[in-house]
Structure formats: structure tokens, C-alpha cells
């Protein structure tokens, strides 16, 4: 038997292709294998999900028909005598077979003929089992089977999908009639209620969310079973036989059906792939499989993680469609029945506000054309949801979804829109319910287009269970729980939520905090821009926008510090307090962080984490509130210095310019300099616009040295170049304070020892120093050519007793820099060589303290890598240590 054409396998009457004689079991098995191979190949080549299910069912039909024909020949009996019929049930009946789905059969026979079936069953069923198919079956008379289904809803539902495959058609028709008459007639509402209840139980069992870490393709929320439930309901209620009839009967619009069938095809295809990948029936999209699944289904991205995220986004988008559409269908089947038949008993419409009434506890429109007259009326629907916490009826959701084209720029900026939207945050009510309804109708993505990018956007890791948008809604809900003091009780957080002056702003921050997620990292910074743009559009006051930006920008900081930093380190807390600035913002940040973590997943918030976060909160709060803290003093001193500098510079530079400079100076700098020097440094920085570098000098006879201030644009290796020029100009650096202002200006203060007799401030020498610096920093002359061209004998006058050379790296002294301490004996050019080495190892010096006592040098460098990060890698650190020691021992 040769099978070349798939039609030979899958055509409805492929069983008739060997009209003469009987097929041997070997032939039939070959037929099965061939069919299976073809299916797998077609799937790999992209066969659509629904197509696969139909073809696979056709293969089974033909297989069973061949076996049946063969049995007929072997047994020599006529099946009609026994009333023997083979029926496909469940998924097989619906023609939705995945590669390893169960094949469920109902074998019917006439009363009293059960015993004579033995041979038939052996001939039909045993080969199927032998070939490794999972076949489930029941053998019953039509009456018995209906009686059994009466007690068992699952069986009844499986019967709903039953269709004839082989044997006596008369028995099948009699059975079908009996089934409709005794089990379905007059029971639609009751049955549909049961189906809905069953679905709710199923959802609850699988996490009650479409968006779970490991979705269950069949039974989960948004899974295939939701579609089955809706289809069963429509079948019972409207007696439809195929899904296509859903549109013909007006139960779904063309557009909805398109969405629905596309979503179903997608889920089926995913399921088929999952079966093939596992080589068995598997309906759970396990975390471990998701990457491979994305790859197998043809998702490609810059990297496999992005491909996986794209796959999951599609998955959740389709699953959400399936859930919403199925649920609408189910409710429709239920409510229309109730309204026409038993409306009185199940409840009468109650108008709660003009234009809206409650029906079966769901919000519905009294006037279906309300939104056509003015789309802004949509807000009223959300307002009712907000005030009463009710769900919208499917028809109302449809009405809103139909009107989305009207939600454009004008709608978004309308005064009424902004007022309504903000009122949901400001007034007490059911904000989460509103957001959920806005999400399900697609309204939110139209009103805040920024949500388009994060719609169903999954961050692919084990930690983030929900897509970004859903996670954000949950965060808002957590804050509402705290506000209402229900759910679990967190006494401190409940109290803080009550104390916060602007809880509405906090809730808005919770909604917007992760919008940067689809833009790449660092998402908090990207999110800040997006959030503040939204806030501006919503005409929120500037000072509130600042707080909102702060919350979005810093929403990760709080947990990060609490869980990963030494809370016993005062400096750390001090710096954190400086970022937070006041206790109001601290409270909001703590609350946001709590809500954010809680919304990640059921196990992401633990007492362990809570304890550390509370410690950080209370310590920081105390620091912010304590009057006599270092922070307060330092801030006062800085403020005082700033006004002095302002006075000194007034008339020389425009006031706004001065303020700009003052803001860019790090607070550490204020602690180390006086107003006069800061003023001078600013004047020097001003000159930098036309120059690469500016320098000033001053004699310090009382200290036995000279002081040189260098201001230049910061760049890697700057410090090495300056110290090289100093060395080449016979200056030994005794101490240096280098700091970097925010605008990228390096301000370095050197105390230098003159190594020759000619005073530094002789015009000839000073001009040479200035010229050398400009040439080197301007890139005209490489610094090493200057240093190497030095006259060596000069140095021999310099005493150089040996001292132990030691390099120590302290990575705990600062959170931002790695602190490298160099202990060695002094010699000319030392600092140049050390700093040059640091530059050559691709590091940059953020701050340095150079000091020399007699001939013992202690140089402390705060260094970072070129990305501005602290060095964390032990390997890198030990290489640096080794490199520096080698350099120091070279002479």
C-alpha cells in the first residue's frame, strides 16, 4: 500500500481506498504511521492549529473505519444486528485533536447485545492500544448512557460534542434524539449556570488569572476550555452545531470572530508544539520550555530572551481574547435565556444612575446609543464602576470597545476626560475595577497610548509572573487594600497610607511606575520620562510631577538598598536620605515599593524582606527628622556657602548661571572648600568654553609649598596627564584633591613642591607650565614625550630611602567607587606613573586624596570603571592590585 498524497489519508472517505478485500493489520498500522509522520512534518512547516486538529481527527476516523471494516469481515456478523455504533466524543468529537490528545469513544449497542460485542471490541480497540494511542471508551446502550450523563456533567459535555464515526448510523440518531430530549430540553439555563460555575472553579484552581508564569493551555483562564464552555453554552442555548454559526446567528461580530478564530488557531498550534516537544500529552507551558517553544514556533529576536518575550506577549494577548470573548458568549447565552424565560425570578433591572441599570449585578446601559451621541459619556460608565465597584455587563464592554476610534487626541485632552480620570485616583472608590474594565475594553491603551507598548508585555524571568500592565494594576490594588485596611493587615503600612498627604498621586505613580519596561534598561529612568509626560498631559501641578518623577525614578532603590546594602552604614543611609529629601516622599516610596513587590507575585513579599525594608524606612526617617544630624549641618553649610559664592560672583556672571553651577557641585566639594575658592573655580570653569584648561596658582609660604588649581573638561586619563605635566615641570605633587562636577568639569587642587631653584611664579616658568598643560590636554603633545625628555641628573639629588610598597583595595568604603590605597615611598613622577597605570587599566579616577608625610606617600583613589561603576569582580580587583604593585616596583 503506497500513500503519496495526504488526501489518501485525510480525505473523509479515505477508508474506501482499498475497495476489494481487507487490509491487513500491518497495512493499517503503516497507514497510521504515515499519517502521523505527515502531520508532524506539516506542523513543523507551519500547519495552522485548527487545520491540524481536523486532519488528525480525519486520520483517526479513517483508521477506525478501516479497523471496523476489517472486524466486520473477521466476525462475519452484521453490526446492524447488534446496533453497534462508534462515536467520537470530547475533543475528538469536535475534531480538535492535538498530537497526543486522548481519543475518547462511545460504543453504542442495542439492549441485550452487550455480550456479543467482545469480538468487535477486540478487533477495533486492541490494535489502537497496541499502536500506542491513548483510547478511552465506554460501552453502553443509548438509554444507559443518557442516564449516566444525567449524573455526570463531564460526560454530558463530552456527549455534546459527539459525532458518528463508524457502525450503525440508526443507533447514533436514536441516541442523539434521546440525549437532546432527556438531557437538554428545557434545561439550558440550569446547564449553562453549571458550566459557568465549573469554569470559575477551574480558573480559581489555575491562579485565577490569564497571566500566570506557567499557563495551562487547556484548563487555565484564557485556555481552550473557556472556548469549549462558551461553545457548549451556545450549543445548548441556540442549538448551533459549528463555531462558524456563532457569527451567522449574530452572537459574535465578524471582527470578534476573526479575533477569536485567530486566537484559537494560535493556542492550538502552541499546544501541538508542546505535545511534540514532550513526546506526550502536555498542556502546561512550563517556564523551562518557554524559550525552546518560542524558537520552535519560529520566533526570532535580537536574542532568545526577546524572542521569548514576543512569544509570551502573543500568547497572553490571544489568551486574553479567548477569555473575554468566551465569557461574553457565556454570559450572553445565560442572560438572554434568563431575561426571556425566568427574568423575574433571577432579578429585575434596577436603575442606579440615569442611563445605567444593574442587571444580575452587572452594569448595563438603558440607552444603547448613549455613546454614539457623545463619546465622553463613556466616562460616566467608569464613574459608576468606580463608585459602586460593579462589573460591566458584556454588552456595555462591547459598546465601549466599539467607540474606541473616538478616543483620540481631542478626547484625551478634553477637560472632562482629565477631570474624570484623575478623580478615580483622588476620590475613594474602586480604582482597580475601573482599570480592569479600561484594560478589557481596550480603553486604557487609547486614553494612555503609553500602555500600548506594555500591553501583555512579559518580562521573561521566573520572578515576574504577570505582564507589565497587569502588574501595574495589581500594584494599585495593593495600595487600595492598604487604604481600606482590608486583606492582610500591615499595621505600619496601613498607618503610613493614612498619613500620606496625596494618596492619589501615589496610586498614579503605582499605575505608571513600570512604563519604561518595554523601552529597555534602565527602565526606571526611561519610565520617569514617560510618566512625567503623561502627568503633564493630565495637567498635574509641576511640584506634584516632580514627586511623581521621583517615585518612578527611584522605585527600585528602596528594596535594593534594604535587601542588599549594609543598613548599619550611616553614610549609606545618609546618602539615601539626601536622595529622598523629606519624610513625605520617603513614606510614598516605601508604600510604592511594598505595592510593587506584592504585585509581582504571591511569594515575592516575605516577612524577611519586610523586616529589612522597615528598618531602612525607620532609620532614614529618623535621619530626616533629627535636627542635629550631619545631613542638616552639611546642608546648612552648603546653603551658606552658596549664598556667599553668589555674593562674590554677582556682577561677574549672570545669577541664573551661578545657580546652575552651584547645583552641579557635589556636596562633598562644599565640605572641602571655602566660598572664595569655589567662586574662583566657577570663574575658571566659565572660561573653559573657549579653552581646554585653565589654571591658577598661589604661593603658600606658611605651608612650604605652592598651590595650583586646574579646571578642565573631564576625560579618562586627565589626572595622569596633569601629573605628568607637573612632573615634567619639576613639580612634585604633595597632595591633590580632585572632584568632578555634574557638568563634566574636573576641578583639581594640587599642593606642589618645587624641585628647582627658580620660583614657580616666575612668568617664564608659569607660562611654560600653562603652555605644556594646554598642549597635552589639547592633544598636541603626548604627555610621555614630556616626561621622558626630562633631565635625569636632577632627580638624583632627591633622597629615596626604600619603604614597603603596599596596595590595598577597599570595596566596602563606598557604594559607588572602589577605594584603592597606595602606600609607598615618595619619588619624583610617582603620581604620574600611578595615575597613568590606572588609566591604562581602563579605570577612571572619581576622587583622589594624595598626601605625603616626609617621604611616605599615602594615595587614596576612588576609582570606577569607564562606565562609571564600582568594580565588583574579584578577578579584576586582584589584577589591578598586581598591576599597580608591579608599576611601583619597577625602579
Partner 1 sequence: MKRVEAIIKPFKLDEVKTALNAVAVQGMTVTEVRGFGRQKGHKEVYRGAEYIVELVPKIKIEVVVPDQAVTRVVETIAKAAKTGKIGDGKIFVLSVEEAVRIRTGERGEGAL
Q: Rule CB under 8 A: is residue 614 a binding residue for partner 1?
A: yes
Q: How many CB atoms lie within 10 A of CB 646?
A: 16
Among 5, 24, 611, 650, binds partner 1 (CB under 8 A): 611
What Å distances lie between residue 169 and 80, 109, 159, 266, 875, CA to CA? 9, 11, 16, 35, 79
Q: Are strands 362-365 and 391-392 parallel, antiparallel or unpaired?
A: parallel
756 binds partner 1 (CB under 8 A): no
H or E element at residue 698: strand 693-700
Q: Is residue 387 part of the contact set for partner 1 (CB under 8 A)?
A: no
Distances (CA, A) of 361 to 396, 485, 644: 13, 25, 68
CA distance linking residue 282 with residue 53, whole number of Å = 16
Stretch that binds partner 1, among 117-125, 192-200, 611-619, 778-786 (CB under 8 A): 611-619
Q: How far is the CB of 604 from partner 1 (least distance, A)?
A: 12
Total number of residues that touch partner 1 (CB under 8 A): 24
Stretch that binds partner 1, among 68-76, 446-454, 557-565, 642-650 (CB under 8 A): 557-565
353 vs 567, which CB is nearer to partner 1?
567
Distance, CA of 250 to chain centre? 38
Could you check whether the bond before residue 522 is cis, i.e. omega within 30 degrees of 0?
A: yes
Among 249, 563, 640, 687, binds partner 1 (CB under 8 A): 563
* Nearest distance in Å: CB 501, partner 1: 16
- Contact region with partner 1 (CB under 8 A), list: 202-210, 440-448, 560-568, 697-705: 560-568
Report the site for partner 1 in 853-882 (rule: CB under 8 A).
872-875
Considering only 18-26, 192-200, 510-518, 600-608, which stretch makes contact with partner 1 by CB under 8 A?
600-608
Site for partner 1 in 209-248 (CB under 8 A): none
Helix (H, G, I), strand (E, B) or coil at 599: coil
Within 8 A by CB and 6+ apart from 490, the residues are 482, 594, 610
Measured between alpha carbons, how far is 117 from 526 in angstroms, rounded to an integer? 72
What are the helix and strand counts (H, E) for the chain? Answer: 41, 16
Give me 769's grid cell.
Answer: 607650565
Instruction: Determine if 701 is a binding residue for partner 1 (CB under 8 A).
Output: no
Q: Within 294-323, which residues bind partner 1 (CB under 8 A)?
A: none
Q: Which is nearer to partner 1, 494 or 856 (CB)?
A: 494
Indicate whether 606 belongs to the interface with partner 1 (CB under 8 A).
Answer: yes
Rule CB under 8 A: is residue 566 a binding residue for partner 1? yes
Q: Please give the angle made by the CA atoms of 577, 571 and 849, to the nearest 5 degrees.
A: 130
310 or 567: whose CB is closer to partner 1? 567
607 vs 792 by CB, closer to partner 1: 607
Dmax over Cα atoms in the chain, in whole Å? 129
The least distance separating partner 1 from the CB of residue 623, rounded to whole angstroms, comes to 14
Q: CB of residue 507 vs partner 1: minimum separation in angstroms? A: 23
DSSP states of 159-219: HHT-EEEEE-HHHHHHHHHHHIIIIITT-HHHHHHHHHHHHHHHHHHTTSSS--SS-BTTT
Q: Could you say which of 204, 286, 618, 869 contacts partner 1 (CB under 8 A)? A: 618
Q: Are 11 and 58 in contact (CB under 8 A)?
A: yes
Dihedral over Cα of 616, 622, 628, 633: its sign? positive
- If one asks whether residue 568 binds partner 1 (CB under 8 A), the answer comes out as yes
Q: Which of residues 805-824 bind partner 1 (CB under 8 A)?
A: 812
**Residue 621 interacts with partner 1 (CB under 8 A): yes or no:** yes
Closer residue to partner 1 in complex, CB, 453/609 = 609
Out of 185, 607, 854, 866, name the contact with partner 1 by CB under 8 A. Answer: 607
DSSP bridge pairs for 818: 863
Q: In what order do the strands lie in the sheet with 85-88?
A: 135-140, 103-108, 85-88, 163-167
495 in contact with partner 1 (CB under 8 A):
yes
Binding status of residue 288 toward partner 1 by CB under 8 A: no
Binding site for partner 1 (CB under 8 A): 491-492, 495, 563-568, 606-609, 611-612, 614-615, 618, 621, 812, 872-875
Amino acid at each position: 500500500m503506497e500513500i503519496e498524497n495526504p488526501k489518501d489519508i485525510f480525505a473523509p472517505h479515505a477508508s474506501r481506498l482499498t475497495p476489494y478485500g481487507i487490509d491487513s493489520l500491518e497495512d493499517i498500522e503503516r497507514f497510521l504511521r504515515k499519517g502521523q509522520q505527515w502531520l508532524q512534518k506539516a506542523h513543523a512547516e507551519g500547519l495552522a492549529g485548527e487545520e491540524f486538529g481536523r486532519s488528525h481527527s480525519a486520520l483517526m476516523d479513517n483508521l477506525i473505519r478501516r479497523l471496523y471494516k476489517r472486524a466486520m469481515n473477521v466476525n462475519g456478523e452484521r453490526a446492524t444486528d447488534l446496533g453497534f455504533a462508534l462515536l467520537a466524543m470530547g475533543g475528538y468529537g469536535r475534531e480538535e485533536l492535538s498530537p497526543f490528545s486522548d481519543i475518547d469513544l462511545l460504543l453504542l449497542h442495542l439492549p441485550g447485545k452487550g455480550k456479543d460485542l467482545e469480538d468487535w471490541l477486540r478487533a477495533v480497540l486492541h490494535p489502537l492500544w497496541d499502536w500506542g494511542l491513548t483510547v478511552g471508551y465506554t460501552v453502553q446502550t443509548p438509554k444507559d448512557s443518557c442516564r449516566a450523563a444525567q449524573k455526570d456533567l463531564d460526560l454530558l459535555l463530552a456527549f455534546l460534542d459527539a459525532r458518528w464515526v463508524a457502525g450503525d448510523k440508526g443507533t447514533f440518531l436514536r441516541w442523539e434524539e434521546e440525549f437532546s430530549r432527556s438531557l437538554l430540553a428545557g434545561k439550558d439555563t440550569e446547564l449553562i449556570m453549571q458550566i459557568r460555575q465549573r469554569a470559575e472553579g477551574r480558573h480559581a484552581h489555575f491562579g485565577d488569572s490569564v497571566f500566570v508564569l506557567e499557563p495551562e493551555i487547556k484548563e487555565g483562564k484564557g485556555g481552550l476550555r473557556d472556548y469549549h464552555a462558551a461553545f457548549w453554552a451556545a450549543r445548548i442555548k441556540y442549538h448551533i452545531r459549528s463555531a462558524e454559526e456563532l457569527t451567522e446567528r449574530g452572537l459574535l461580530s465578524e471582527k470578534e470572530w476573526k479575533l477569536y478564530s485567530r486566537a484559537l488557531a494560535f493556542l492550538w498550534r502552541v499546544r501541538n508544539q508542546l505535545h511534540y516537544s514532550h513526546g506526550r500529552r502536555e498542556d502546561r507551558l512550563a517556564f523551562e520550555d518557554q524559550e525552546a517553544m518560542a524558537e520552535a514556533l519560529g520566533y526570532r529576536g535580537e536574542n532568545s530572551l526577546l524572542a521569548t518575550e514576543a512569544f509570551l506577549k502573543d500568547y497572553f494577548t490571544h489568551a486574553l481574547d479567548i477569555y473575554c470573548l468566551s465569557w461574553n458568549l457565556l454570559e450572553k447565552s445565560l442572560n438572554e435565556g434568563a431575561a426571556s424565560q425566568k427574568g423575574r425570578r433571577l432579578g429585575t433591572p434596577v436603575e442606579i444612575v440615569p442611563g445605567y441599570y444593574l442587571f444580575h449585578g452587572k452594569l448595563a446601559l438603558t440607552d444603547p446609543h448613549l455613546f454614539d451621541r457623545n463619546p465622553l459619556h463613556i466616562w460616566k460608565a467608569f464613574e459608576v464602576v468606580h463608585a459602586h465597584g460593579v462589573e460591566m455587563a458584556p454588552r456595555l464592554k462591547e459598546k465601549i470597545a466599539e467607540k474606541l476610534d473616538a478616543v483620540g487626541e481631542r478626547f484625551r485632552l478634553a477637560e472632562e476626560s482629565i477631570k474624570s480620570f484623575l478623580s478615580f485616583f483622588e476620590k475613594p472608590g474602586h480604582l482597580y475595577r475601573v482599570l480592569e474594565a479600561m484594560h478589557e475594553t481596550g480603553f486604557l491603551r487609547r486614553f494612555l497610548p503609553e500602555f500600548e507598548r506594555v500591553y501583555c508585555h512579559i518580562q521573561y524571568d521566573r520572578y515576574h509572573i504577570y505582564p507589565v500592565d497587569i502588574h501595574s494594576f495589581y500594584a494599585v490594588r495593593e495600595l487600595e487594600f492598604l487604604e481600606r485596611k482590608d486583606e492582610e493587615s500591615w499595621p505600619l503600612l496601613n498607618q503610613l497610607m493614612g498619613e500620606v498627604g496625596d494618596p492619589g498621586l501615589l496610586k498614579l505613580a503605582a499605575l505608571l511606575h513600570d512604563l519604561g519596561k518595554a523601552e529597555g534598561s534602565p527602565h526606571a529612568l526611561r519610565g520617569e520620562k514617560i510618566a512625567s509626560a503623561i502627568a503633564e498631559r493630565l495637567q498635574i501641578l509641576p511640584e506634584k510631577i516632580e514627586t511623581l518623577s521621583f517615585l518612578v525614578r527611584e522605585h527600585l532603590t528602596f528594596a535594593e538598598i534594604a535587601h542588599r546594602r549594609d543598613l548599619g552604614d550611616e553614610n549609606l543611609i545618609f546618602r539615601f536620605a539626601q536622595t529622598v529629601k523629606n519624610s513625605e516622599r520617603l513614606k510614598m516610596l516605601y508604600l510604592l515599593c511594598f505595592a510593587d513587590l506584592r504585585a509581582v507575585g504571591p511569594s515575592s513579599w516575605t516577612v524577611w524582606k519586610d523586616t529589612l525594608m522597615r528598618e531602612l524606612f525607620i532609620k532614614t526617617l529618623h535621619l530626616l527628622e533629627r535636627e542635629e544630624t550631619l545631613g542638616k549641618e552639611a546642608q546648612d553649610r552648603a546653603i551658606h556657602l552658596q549664598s556667599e559664592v553668589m555674593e562674590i560672583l554677582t556682577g561677574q556672571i549672570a545669577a541664573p548661571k551661578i545657580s546652575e553651577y552651584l547645583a552641579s557641585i557635589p556636596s562633598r566639594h562644599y565640605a572641602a572648600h571655602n566660598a572664595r575658592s569655589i567662586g574662583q573655580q566657577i570663574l575658571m570653569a566659565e572660561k573653559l568654553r573657549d579653552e581646554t584648561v585653565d589654571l591658577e596658582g598661589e604661593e603658600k609660604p606658611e605651608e612650604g609649598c605652592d598651590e595650583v588649581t586646574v579646571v578642565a573638561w573631564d576625560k579618562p586619563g586627565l589626572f595622569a596627564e596633569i601629573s605628568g605635566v607637573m612632573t615634567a615641570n619639576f613639580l612634585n605633587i604633595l597632595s591633590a584633591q580632585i572632584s568632578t562636577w555634574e557638568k563634566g568639569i574636573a576641578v583639581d587642587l594640587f599642593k606642589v613642591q618645587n624641585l628647582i631653584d627658580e620660583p614657580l611664579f616666575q612668568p617664564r616658568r608659569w607660562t611654560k607650565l600653562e603652555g605644556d598643560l594646554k598642549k597635552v590636554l589639547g592633544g598636541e603633545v603626548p604627555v610621555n614625550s614630556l616626561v621622558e625628555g626630562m633631565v635625569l641628573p636632577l632627580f638624583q639629588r632627591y633622597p629615596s630611602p626604600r619603604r614597603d610598597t603596599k596596595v590595598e583595595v577597599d570595596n566596602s568604603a563606598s557604594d559607588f567607587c572602589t577605594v584603592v590605597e597606595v602606600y609607598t615611598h615618595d619619588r619624583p613622577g610617582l603620581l604620574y606613573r600611578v595615575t597613568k597605570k590606572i588609566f591604562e587599566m581602563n579605570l577612571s579616577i572619581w576622587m583622589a586624596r594624595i598626601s605625603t608625610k616626609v617621604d611616605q606617600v599615602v594615595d587614596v583613589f576612588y576609582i570606577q570603571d569607564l562606565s562609571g561603576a564600582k568594580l565588583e569582580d574579584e578577578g579584576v580587583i586582584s589584577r589591578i592590585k598586581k598591576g599597580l604593585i608591579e608599576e611601583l616596583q619597577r625602579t
